[in-house]
Structure 1
């Protein structure tokens, strides 16, 4: 059998710095997702696509997640590179994402070099833009899958909630920076050195962000290396697929319950993430722009800035929640061990800890909050009200990014052999001072090399399961996106057939008659709210397993 050798090492002199460096790649990932989610829908509409066709193009996201993450999870689990299992794939994925982002941002310029006629260039431009979106989605899923597994590999069971919380925090920072960049006029601020349009400059910044953030994490973390016995053969692609299929069919009950809760949750989150910016912009054009005959010269830029300004407020709430909420929720370690507070405040601290909700209750509350906000979406008749509803989803999104990752990380550590109090948890030391792992050179933690020492410290003995299980969780995250895409395409075809009046060539806000029928995106958001109610009941079942 292959074995992991060496020691996991994270640079940094304090726990906070180490967690930031370990999860820093998440910042670039979410910045890139933010640019794509904010601008690509209006960008495709600006190229003349219908909303129904645009919704079908967004099948790239779930398709890439469904195919890439489970396969990459297995491949990275068995990667024998001397640089570790996760980091080499992260570097390659980030490089592909950066190149594809530049192609996406400068699609018109690239096509114009080969096709001079604007009318003839229209179809190749659309094809190249869609192809670039697909490549970005496939490659960024490689970075996401490996970065999540890296966190699980590097941390013992007692630190899984902390690692997931820091991932959520870095995600919030990435969204906030991305929406802040999108809400200002970059061309007016920085000139045309990075491009002569808002979208071009954002793709350049996103390319630098994904490369830089991935480089920081890969530099900061030293992985254990997988060593295969002499003569061992690498698993074929069919073997990988069979392993994924077999694992999906035989999921442990709690892992299966987490996956189904994620499934129903993401039927609700899919339309919110992909269409909320466009929805806010369209609501602005429908109800808030005075019909004085003036046409917008850059409807795409206007819609992107209006949506980004609203989502910047939303991401600021997400950012605050990512730092505060984990401190108000019981961690998986709290039930087995609680640090002794000073005697002067022991009573107050113990009462506070007793009142903390567990992470399952918190996740259920997140589902309910999101459902309540999005059920009011069809009633939005001003972009301010639409912005308020979006901002109310900030805390539920924080919980959605943090709770399932924490719960699955704990289950993976249990399955890998971590123990606690004789049960499948980590063993507790007698003294709280030795709860932290051993300290290596420079004050950074190092984790045990032998399986026996690994079990004693609460760490996975081999951590071989994290890649495939997080890949399977992503299957249950992406399958509902196919359902959401199908629902959205039907709703758009029925309620808003044809090109977008706001963004198609020759269009603008004045082509939209105020109050003309229900907004199709509002209907999709309402359907998502109903799915989140089901997710709340699915999550509640975990309490009985």
Structure 2
């Protein structure tokens, strides 16, 4: 039988099998060693770990070019079994898998950076603003777990997550555009009944409807975010969860920069055909970005056919929902539980930083002017704060650039922990590659062995706390901008580390469970109860993780309000340092989060894995292995 050569992106064979020469070449006069290396180069993924064999200079350059140009053929393929789903994926596969979360981030950035000024322009008071923006934490606490349960139980032939991604994206686009044109919509409808557009009734109606659209927007955004995060987890192999989530954080960083740059530009001047105001153009751009990226991910990445899975359990109403959530919280995997504990305390500090960073920088900017001119007119104060807002926005742009740069560069330095093993057919095995290149050897040489992802996350918490404490003593715009920029390092790890740790644990558990079921070697007995329970599926677990993020935001909002009540001064009054105190208070909670991070293990251990290996006579390897350059990296893809 002639051995058929497989696509570079499908890596099901072991290193030994890949090293065997093709029977069709047995009579060839070519050098067998070169044939073996050449064959391996085609059969093995450029993401797999190198061993000791090397290529000459010409072959190295050809191989690197081949790696850069490889297409994600697995995305459109028809995987037949668990081993094929666990095959190492290419760079383009990872980009297509995560690009939708970048489009979502553009929508988020529009709401966060321009939502408050827009609502104020409609006439909403600042005292009511807190009641509006608390919609985010509330919907995040309730909506994402609920969407997680619904998607886990979805049995559509399109997959579990894609229907919710499509519905959530469509609802987000409609809510954004409706919010931007709320004056025209409400005024036009009421005008049909003879109402005067300048009347107080119409004015109040516009505000009420705008607040309603904000809540609908947060509901829709949380829906699509829950679906996208679970989609990334489901479609990335177990040994590439760290790589997939790092790529997602990179894409989020790109989305942030696009959103901030767009907000800084005078868009109506260049894109007048999208609307006559900045907010209208931003909403149209965000809608196009979200719709196109979700469509691209859905069209190119194949999801498991959920209709082939067993029927979901019957669900009841609201009581059943809370019962399921509570049951899942009690059954959280150990690593995931620790990550949620870290996130709860970390986000008490992160939430004020996200909302008040630009105001903090702007407040430092206005202080010298207020001290020199204490009797400024309201118009002069408005112009001063308008300029301060631009200065604060520039600091956020530096923050976004720092975050993206960290996500691009840091993976080359971190020793991989959660990507070091592949789980396929119930066997824990190491990814191996039968050759190295100059590029791969260079990248391996710059890895810092002791710097694991978990330790980098711990350091990031300490950096964040130090920056927040520094706000109490920094008194220059340049110094404040540097502080906010450095915080971008912590934000990059926050977007990457927790999702990578959780995804690695969930994916590994599911891979083991599917391998047991596909092999039929074990019945659904008492030893499999935990693995087969639907309460530990990706959707609900990621929803609970988001609860650990959203719930502390409510605490942070209430705590910040109390501090502002006692410390803030009227707008335009010099000597107001309330923002610094609020930010520094958040740093205290982040230090406790750093302590909890130190308790997380650097390896994901799944109960029952040792038993599963023992039944097959396999002995697990526990030694660390530097496989980062092959499961995540730049040129080495």
Aligned to 2:345: 264
Aligned to 2:518: 451
Equivalent residues of 2:250, 2:404 under 8 A apart? yes
What RMSD, in angstroms, separates the aligned Cα atoms of the two structures?
A: 3.5
Cα 1:461/1:209, change in 2 over 3 Å: farther
Equivalent residues of 1:70, 1:475 under 8 A apart? yes
Superimposed CA distance per residue, residues 421-441 of structure 1 (whole angstroms, 9 cap, x where no aligned partner): xxxxxxxxxxxxxxxxxxxxx
Decide which of 529, 532, 537 is 2:590's aligned counterpart.
532
Shift of 1:100: 0.9
Decide which of 132, 137, 144 is 1:69's aligned counterpart.
144
Aligned to 2:105: 30
Whole-angstrom distance in 2 between the partners of 1:263 and 1:394: 19
Cα 1:539/1:229, change in 2 over 3 Å: closer
Shift of 1:542: 1.2
Q: How does 1:175-254 map to 2 (within 5 A)?
A: 175-191=256-272, 193-227=273-307, 234-237=314-317, 238-254=319-335
Aligned to 1:92: 167
Aligned to 1:333: 419
Decide which of 479, 484, 488 is 1:394's aligned counterpart.
488
Whole-angstrom distance in 2 between the partners of 1:120 and 1:384: 46
Cα 1:226/1:350, change in 2 over 3 Å: closer
Decide which of 453, 459, 475 is 1:359's aligned counterpart.
453
Cα 1:205/1:278, change in 2 over 3 Å: farther
Cα 1:404/1:224, change in 2 over 3 Å: same
Whole-angstrom distance in 2 between the partners of 1:150 and 1:250: 22
Decide which of 535, 539, 545 is 1:473's aligned counterpart.
545
Superimposed CA distance per residue, residues 424-470 of structure 1 (whole angstroms, 9 cap, x where no aligned partner): xxxxxxxxxxxxxxxxxxxxxxx9997349x9xxxx99997111111
Equivalent residues of 2:419, 2:504 under 8 A apart? no
Cα 1:351/1:98, change in 2 over 3 Å: closer
Q: Are residue 488 (structure 1) and residue 560 (structure 2) matched?
A: yes
Cα 1:288/1:164, change in 2 over 3 Å: farther
Q: How does 1:83-162 map to 2 (within 5 A)?
A: 83-113=158-188, 114=190, 115-117=196-198, 119-162=200-243
Whole-angstrom distance in 2 between the partners of 1:202 and 1:211: 14
Q: Are residue 43 (structure 1) and residue 118 (structure 2) matched?
A: yes
Aligned to 1:411: 505
Cα 1:349/1:318, change in 2 over 3 Å: closer
Shift of 1:203: 1.6
- Secondary structure at 1:235's aligned position in 2? coil
Shift of 1:225: 1.8
Aligned to 1:10: 75
- Secondary structure at 2:598's aligned position in 1? helix
Cα 1:276/1:123, change in 2 over 3 Å: farther
Equivalent residues of 1:41, 1:275 under 8 A apart? no
Whole-angstrom distance in 2 between the partners of 1:11 and 1:394: 36
Equivalent residues of 1:149, 1:467 under 8 A apart? yes
Superimposed CA distance per residue, residues 485-504 of structure 1 (whole angstroms, 9 cap, x where no aligned partner): 11122223333477xx4xxx
Superimposed CA distance per residue, residues 111-164 of structure 1 (whole angstroms, 9 cap, x where no aligned partner): 443352264444333322222211111111111111111111112211101100
Shift of 1:179: 0.5
**Whose radius of gyration is greater, 1 or 2?**
2
Equivalent residues of 2:362, 2:392 under 8 A apart? yes
* TM-score for both structures, normalised by structure 1: 0.81
Whole-angstrom distance in 2 between the partners of 1:299 and 1:208: 34
